[in-house]
Structure 1
Amino acid sequence: MNVEQIYKDANALLEGHFKLSSGNYSNFYLQSAKVLEDPKTAKLLAEALAAQIKESGIKVDAVCSPALGGIISGFALATALDVRFIFAERVDGQMTVRRGFEVSEGENYIICEDIITTGGSALEAAKQVEAAGGNIVAYAALANRGFCSRVGSDLQAQDNCKLPLDKPLFALEDFTFKMYTPDECDFKDIAYKPGSRGN
């Protein structure tokens, strides 16, 4: 499966000047919402991701995604794994599991995002699940920006990866675009922020 081509065909691999949700900047942006607006494509990608997870032998009871970006990919993955799905969302800046969702003691969860960059939002969602008694058995995403190490890739985790090294990350592809900190970026004033936060 050529995930990069799928993003290109959906006009979801953007080139320009972008501000990322991490606060950093890049000349490239993955707009997963454009890929996932086609249910057939979402199903295809989720089934490929689920196949990796099933092959690993990890026992999964449910999938949790951080809103907003991870909801469609997480729901599609839960469907492919035939398990329950919940999501966490920000309330006054704090990631929270609400809307009547319950986490049972000892339930095994995968935290699923559309894109894993440093994994900060995924980790916030994971902490909420753990606080309610759930176990995090793995992380998953359609694409990995290359800062965290995923199953099946030779890339090593970098210092800015926030995901725990003792939990596997499953993803379909690595996208290793250059990122710039605010101090390094010379196009901050014209950067576009196409993601779900702060627009």
Structure 2
Amino acid sequence: MTEDEVLGEFRASQALLEGHFLLSSGRHSAHYLQCARVLMNPMRASRLALAIAQRIPRDVKKEINKVVSPAMGGLIIGHEMGRALGVDAMFVERPTGTFELRRGFSLEPGDKVLMVEDVVTTGLSSREAIRAIEEAGGQVIAAASLIDRSAGAVDLGVPFYPLIALNFPTYAPEEVPESLAAIPAIKPGSRAKA
């Protein structure tokens, strides 16, 4: 899939939003990608996962025997990546603020894991998920995501295969341009406060 085709999927599902958004990374942006909306259609989610799988080199794919994704955002795409690769998919979650495997999920020592996210901006959550996977005995040999919002700048410590890399600017709170600051910020993601 090309970048235009991927963004077309986001637009078709009304998942590419414009306004003033406070991202889960703490940064601000005029654009927000609502991956839950783009993934709510199972056929679209399957197509996107297959497209990500095509980006992963064959020799890496052959080694992967588990997919692990961080809850909440990575659940659907992680499940679809497991289907695309023909391996089990599970997730880590933060019941006490730190990612961990729960719900009977476990990894065998040396399991070769693909860590899958929906969107990577700073890579903080991805690195935390990778650390939890390794502490549980898995060996993360690669990471993947639908979107790399860092435009290729993020370093996860493992090979990283995003479907597309975007350069929607993000801003630290003290760097928000006046035109964006004039719009009330909303936090649309799964970690938004109710």
Task: Report the TM-score when normalising by structure 2.
Answer: 0.90
| Number of residue pairs aligned between Structure 1 and Structure 2 | 186
Q: Secondary structure at the match of 1:136?
A: strand
In structure 2, stretches of 5+ residues that fail to align are none
| Alpha-carbon shift at residue 98 of structure 1 (Å) | 1.1
* Alignment partners' CA distance in 1, 2:150 and 2:6: 14
Aligned: 1:21 with 2:12 = no
Q: Tell me which residue corresponds to 1:117.
A: 121
Contact 1:118 1:163 in 2 (8 A): no
1:89 maps to a residue whose letter is E
1:69 maps to a residue whose letter is G
* Alignment partners' CA distance in 2, 1:49 and 1:133: 25
Q: Tell me which residue corresponds to 2:34.
A: 31
- Aligned residue runs from structure 1 range 93-172, under 5 A: 93-147=97-151, 149=152, 157=153, 161-164=154-157, 167-172=158-163
| Alpha-carbon shift at residue 188 of structure 1 (Å) | 8.2
* Alignment partners' CA distance in 1, 2:104 and 2:160: 28
RMSD: 1.5
* Alignment partners' CA distance in 2, 1:181 and 1:57: 35
Q: Tell me which residue corresponds to 2:185.
A: 191
| Alpha-carbon shift at residue 26 of structure 1 (Å) | 0.3
1:61 to 59, 65, 69: 65
Q: Tell me which residue corresponds to 1:180.
A: 171
Q: Secondary structure at the match of 1:91?
A: coil
Deviations 1:92-145 (A, max 9, x none): 211111111111000000110111111111111111110122100000001111
167-176 or 48-57, larger mean C-alpha shift? 48-57
Identity %: 41
In structure 1, stretches of 5+ residues that fail to align are 150-156
* Alignment partners' CA distance in 1, 2:9 and 2:129: 28
1:92 to 82, 93, 96: 96
Task: Report the TM-score when normalising by structure 1.
Answer: 0.88
| Alpha-carbon shift at residue 52 of structure 1 (Å) | 2.0
* Alignment partners' CA distance in 1, 2:185 and 2:60: 43
